[in-house]
Amino acid sequence: MRYLTLATDYDGTLATDSQVSPETLDALKRLKESGRKLILVTGRQLDDLCQTFAQVDLFDCVVAENGALLYFPATHEKKPLGDRPPEAFVQALQARNVEPLGVGQVIVATWHPHETVVLETIRDLGLELQVIFNKGAVMVLPSGINKASGLKAALAHMGLSPHNVVAVGDAENDHAFLEVCEFSVAVANALPMLKDRADWVTQHSRGAGVTELIDKITASDLEEFAESLDRHQILLGTDKEGTEVKLQPYGTSLLLAGTSGGGKSTLAMGILERLAEQAYQFCIIDPEGDYEGFEGAVVLGDSQQPPNISEVLDLLNRPEQSVIVNLLSVKLDERPAFFAGLLPSLMELRARTGRPHWIVVDEAHHMLPASWHPASLTLPQALSNLLLITVHPDHVAIPALSLINMVIAVGKAPHETIASFCNTVGCDLPEPLPDRLDSGEVLAWDRQADEDNEPFRFHITPPRVERRRHMRNYAEGELGADKCFYFRGAEAKLNLKAQNLMMFMELAEGVDEETWLHHLQQQDYSCWFREAIKDDTLADEAAEVESSQLSATESRDRIKAAITSRYTLPA
C-alpha cells in the first residue's frame, strides 16, 4: 500500500455542527479494518474535543490545539509540543475584555473581532507568539507550531512518513498539514484557496466527503490519481524539445543498464539526490562501496566489517533515515545469500510502514546473478520502487528482471542493452532503437505505457553535487576478482593482479616496458579506470596518454600523476 494513514481535520471536515454522522463513523472503521492508521488534526482543545466526540478512540493519534498537543487514545498519553504563553498574557487579554477566551495546555484562543487586541497585546508584552486564523477563530501559539509541525511530530512518534499519508481539510489553518502530505484533499465545502491547492476535491461536503475519500482509499489506494499527482515526481532529464522527463516516485521498477562511462552513476546519483531532497527514504545495496560519500544516508559496513541486518532495520525504522548497505567485506559468492536474508525484512517493513520508499541494488548481477536459482523463491511477484543497476542485464536473474517496467539504457550500444533485456525476459523488442547516443544522452523505454511505448531519448540532468571519489575503497580496498587489473603482457606470460590503485601503482613500477606498453596500446588502463574504478575523468586522462605515443617512462609518469592528483594513497 502507498497510503497507510489518513489525517483529517475535525470541524467542517469530519464533523457537521460538531457531530460526526454514523455513515462517516462506519467509513472510519472500514479504513481501520484495512490496516491503515487514523490521525485527527484539529484546532480544538483536547477536553472540548473529547466531550464533543465520544468516538475519539477510533484514532491512533490526535493532534490537538492546532498542532501543539499530541494525544494517543490507546494509552491516554499526552505530549505537549510547546509552552503555553505566560500567565501575564492571559491576564492582559482578560483585562481588555477578550471573551470568550480559551486556554489549553499550550494554545490560547478567542474569536473575531478580538484579533486586533490580541496582536496589540503580543506587541506590548514583547512576546514571540504567532496568531493563526480559522474561519473566525483566533488562535495564539508559540512560534513555529501549526498543524503541519504537529502532524510531523505525530508521524515521527508512530514511525510513519508524510509520504504515506492522505490529508483532508476545509479551512485556512489546514493549508500547512495538507501541504506536507503525499496526497492532499479538500472537501467540497472547503475555502476556495484550499480547493485550488489540493490534489483532489471531493464531490460531497464535510463527513460525506471524507466517506467518499475513504471509499476510494480502500478500493484502489487512490491509484486513479497516480498519474496526475505530479508535485512529487523525480527529475531525470530533458528531451530534445526541452521538456522535463520525470519519474513517478511510486509504482515504478526501474532497470538502469549499459556500458561503463555512459552515465549510469550520474543518473543514479541524480535520482537519489532528488529522492533525498523530498525526504523519500531509500536503502541502497552497495557491493563496491560506491555510495560511501553520499550525503543524507548512513553507511553500514566497510571493507573490513560486513553490515548487520538488524542494524540496517533499526536505522530504517526512523522515517527520515536512509541507509547504504556496504558489502565490500562480503565475498562475491556470499552476496546473493546476504541479499536474500535482507529483502524479506525490507518487505515486512514496507508492508507495515510503507518504507523504505525505494530499494536500490547496484551491481545487480552480483546480488541477483542469473545462475542463482533461489532468486525465484526470494523475490515477490511484484515489487515497485525498485532500482536495479547493472552493466549486463543478461547476467541478472530472470525473476528480478521480470519485475522491471521501465528500462533506461546508457552507453555506446543502447540497442544491445535493451535487446539483452528483452531476450532474457522473453518479451518483444521495441522499435525503433538507435545504434548510438549523444554524449550525456540515454534511452528510456516505458514497458507499461498504455499508448506510445516507443523508446525515447533524453539528456541526463546531473546531480547538484558531484559524487566524491571513494579514496580508501579504490586506493586501498580489495576489489572483487572480476574488477581487478591483470598485468599479463602480449603473450600472457605474466599474471600480476592489482586489486586496488595502490597495488596497480606498485606493479606498474615493476613490470617491464614491453608489458606496460602492450596494455597501454590496448587501452586497458583507461578501460579499467572507467569500468572497475568508475572514474570517468581518470579514464579520460589515461585515454589521452594512451593515444599520445609516449615512451613507457613518460606514460607511466603521466598516469601515476593522474591517479595521485585524484586519490590520496598511503605513504
Give percent above pLDDT 70 in the chain: 95
Least confident of 7-11, 84-88, 394-398, 567-571: 567-571
What single DSSP character describes residue 396? B
Residue 469 has a pLDDT of 43
CB 196 within 8 A of CB 177: no
Measuring CA to CA, which residue among 417, 455, 449, 422 is closest to residue 251?
449
Q: What is the mean pLDDT of residues 401-426?
A: 91
pLDDT, greater one: 6 or 127: 6
Residue 452 has a pLDDT of 67
pLDDT, greater one: 453 or 155: 155
User: b/e for 400-424, b at 16 or more Cβ within 10 A?
Assistant: bbbbbbbbbbbbebbbbbbbbbbeb
Residue 468 has a pLDDT of 46
3-class secondary structure, 83 = coil
Least confident of 111-120, 343-352, 421-430, 532-541: 532-541
**pLDDT per position as a tens digit, 513-540:** 999 999 999 999 999 988 888 777 888 8
CB atoms under 10 Å from CB of 495, counted, come to: 9
Report how far residue 505's alpha carbon sits from residue 419's, in angstroms, rounded to the nearest whole number.
38
What single DSSP character describes residue 482? G
Select the highest-mean-pLDDT range: 207-216, 333-342, 442-451.
207-216
What single DSSP character describes residue 144? T
User: b/e for 321-337, b at 16 or more Cβ within 10 A?
Assistant: ebbbbbbbebeeeebbe
Report how far residue 519's alpha carbon sits from residue 397's, in angstroms, rounded to the nearest whole number.
33
Q: Which three cell numbers stand for residue 364?
A: 545487480
Domains of the chain and CATH, by start: 1-76+146-230 (3.40.50.1000), 82-144 (3.90.1070), 234-460 (3.40.50.300), 471-566 (no CATH)
pLDDT averaged over every residue in the chain: 90
**pLDDT per position as a tens digit, 51-69:** 999 999 999 999 999 999 9
3-class secondary structure, 237 = strand
Q: Is 320 exposed, middle or buried (0-12, 13-18, 19+ CB in 10 A)?
A: exposed
Residue 292 has a pLDDT of 78
User: b/e for 236-257, b at 16 or more Cβ within 10 A?
Assistant: bbeeeeeeebebbbbebbbbbb
Residue 401 has a pLDDT of 93
CB atoms under 10 Å from CB of 2, counted, come to: 20
Select the highest-mean-pLDDT range: 302-306, 353-357, 376-380.
353-357
- The whole-model pTM stands at 0.80
Beta pairing, strands 297-300 & 441-446: unpaired
CB atoms under 10 Å from CB of 395, counted, come to: 16
- In this predicted structure, the answer to whether residue 466 has a pLDDT above a threshold of 70 is no
